[in-house]
């Protein structure tokens, strides 16, 4: 009696019986609504995007790549290059490829004027340019 001094449990109404089937009806309705009305991106994000025709249109397989660091260093096939050396190297490489394309992997801290110079140099050499950003390790 000490643990239940007022005996409140005996004064409560018992839970209703027969509501077990409602659980299965709810699960069935949720499944039906996802099947009929849900977007396919809700259940599988990113899986369908790669098979869409619009995503395949702009897909470019790059033939060359360079890495640009925040300090202004440009790394290409032969190693560390300055901007004039990069232009010469790109002109030499553009001759060897039918449709040259360049992937520029730029550090997040590279300034826009530096990127613009590199892109203009690549386009003058005949390259199609694709940009990518590299986040610093600490961010």
Distance, in Å, from the CA atom of 77 to the CA atom of 82, rounded to the nearest integer, reads 13
83, 106: one domain: yes
Please tell me whether residues 43 and 65 are part of one structural domain: no
Question: Same domain, yes or no, for 64 and 124?
Answer: yes
The answer, yes or no, to whether residue 62 has pLDDT greater than 90, is no
Q: Can you give the pLDDT at residue 41?
A: 55
Does residue 28 lie in a domain region? yes
Q: Note down the domain range covering 92.
A: 60-134
What span, in angstroms and rounded, lies between the C-alpha atoms of 4 and 6? 6
Instruction: Let me know: does 118 contact 87? Beta carbons within 8 Å.
Output: no
The number of folded domains in the chain is: 2
Spatial contact of 108 and 133, defined as CB atoms under 8 Å apart = yes
pLDDT of res. 88: 92
Give the pLDDT score at 56.
59
Predicted model pTM:
0.55
One domain for residues 84 and 107: yes
How do beta strands 64-68 and 101-107 pair?
parallel
Burial class (CB in 10 A: 0-12, 13-18, 19+), 104: buried
Give a yes or no: residue 34 inside a domain.
yes
Q: What is the mean pLDDT of residues 58-74?
A: 82
Domain annotation covers residue 9: no
Domain match, 85 and 100 both: yes
| CATH number of the domain within which 118 lies | 3.30.420.270
User: Tens of pLDDT along 6-59?
Assistant: 777 777 887 777 667 888 888 898 888 777 775 555 554 444 445 556 555 666
Beta strands in the chain (DSSP E): 64-68, 74-76, 79-81, 101-107, 128-134
């Amino acid at each position: 009696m000490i643990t239940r001094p007022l005996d409140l449990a005996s004064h409560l109404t018992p839970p209703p019986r027969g509501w077990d089937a409602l659980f299965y009806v709810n699960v069935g309705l949720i499944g039906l609504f996802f099947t009929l009305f849900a977007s396919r991106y809700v259940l599988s994000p990113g899986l369908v995007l790669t098979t869409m025709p619009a995503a395949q249109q702009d897909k470019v397989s790059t033939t060359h790549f360079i890495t640009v660091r925040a300090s202004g260093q440009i790394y290409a096939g032969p190693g560390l290059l300055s901007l004039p050396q990069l232009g010469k190297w790109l002109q030499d490489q553009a001759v060897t490829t039918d449709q040259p394309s360049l992937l520029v992997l730029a550090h997040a801290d590279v300034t826009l004027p530096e990127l613009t110079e590199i892109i203009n140099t690549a386009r003058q050499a005949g390259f199609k340019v694709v940009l990518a950003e590299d986040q610093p390790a600490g961010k």
